[in-house]
Amino acid sequence: MKLAAVNKARYLAIIELDELNIKGTVRLSDCVAPIAERYKFDVFPQNAEDFDLENKGVKFESGKDGDLTIDSLVLYNGAIYVDTFASTADSQRILVEMLEWGSKTFGLSYSEGMIRKCAYISQVLFYTDFPLLVEASPALKKLAQKTSSITEGLFGGLVYEPLNLSVGHDPMARKHGIASFYIQHRINTLFAENKYFSEAPLPTDQHIKFLEEFEADVLESLK
């Protein structure tokens, strides 16, 4: 497996904004300009409609933390997340450092350990040296071959292959679902390129590790 890119690395802290303003002295609108300046955000809230904490979130986009690009910082009433193109570990570090800086600069009531719940979204592109999805399941491979035997005669030369695979939880088991772990062919690329997109609700390093292990398991099954 060869990693091609990290498309998204999101760290989401589940915390109510009111907990960060226990003294009631901080206005979000007063924090916008200093945040935009410190992190060099190209896009940040400027109008009243940009302060929709309940639905759309308050968004800062295209910023920098040193040499690292911050794709977005988004605040909701009950959560804050940071997206980077590096890793969820970097996204987490940035958010925690933002809150520590906000504590000193604005008087936020943030302290270590306040973030008790969090979530991750990791999206990556990668290549393999063999058709991963074709070989992942003998049963799916057989189904694709049987389908191809019919469609080739009807439509001329169309060869079917497994398009994607995923694992996820029973959606009825949780009110607010957690993202699935899935792998699919990268859109706008030929199957023969063996280029894949994957998303998982995991830290980036764990996501990549599981993909490497999955590839190894598939190869082992072919022996």
pLDDT digits (tens, 9 = 90+) for 6-15: 999 999 999 9
Weakest mean pLDDT among 90-99, 175-184, 189-198:
175-184
Residue 129, amino acid:
D
Q: Within a 10 A sphere around the Cβ of 22, how many other Cβ atoms?
A: 12
CA distances from 18 to 82, 97, 108, 139, 165 (A): 19, 19, 10, 52, 40
In the block, which residue shows the tokens 């943030």?
110
pLDDT band at 212 (very low <50, low <70, confident <90, very high): very high
| pLDDT of 146 higher than 90 | yes
Measured CA to CA, the distance from residue 94 to residue 72 in angstroms comes to 11
Task: State the chain's mean pLDDT as an integer.
Answer: 95
Measured CA to CA, the distance from residue 185 to residue 175 in angstroms comes to 30
In this prediction, what percent of the chain has a pLDDT beyond 90? 90
Query: What pLDDT is recorded for position 61?
Result: 98
CA distances from 212 to 17, 123, 218, 219 (A): 38, 15, 10, 11
Domain ranges of the chain: 9-119, 123-221
pTM here is 0.93
Query: What pLDDT is recorded for position 51?
Result: 95
| pLDDT of 154 higher than 80 | no
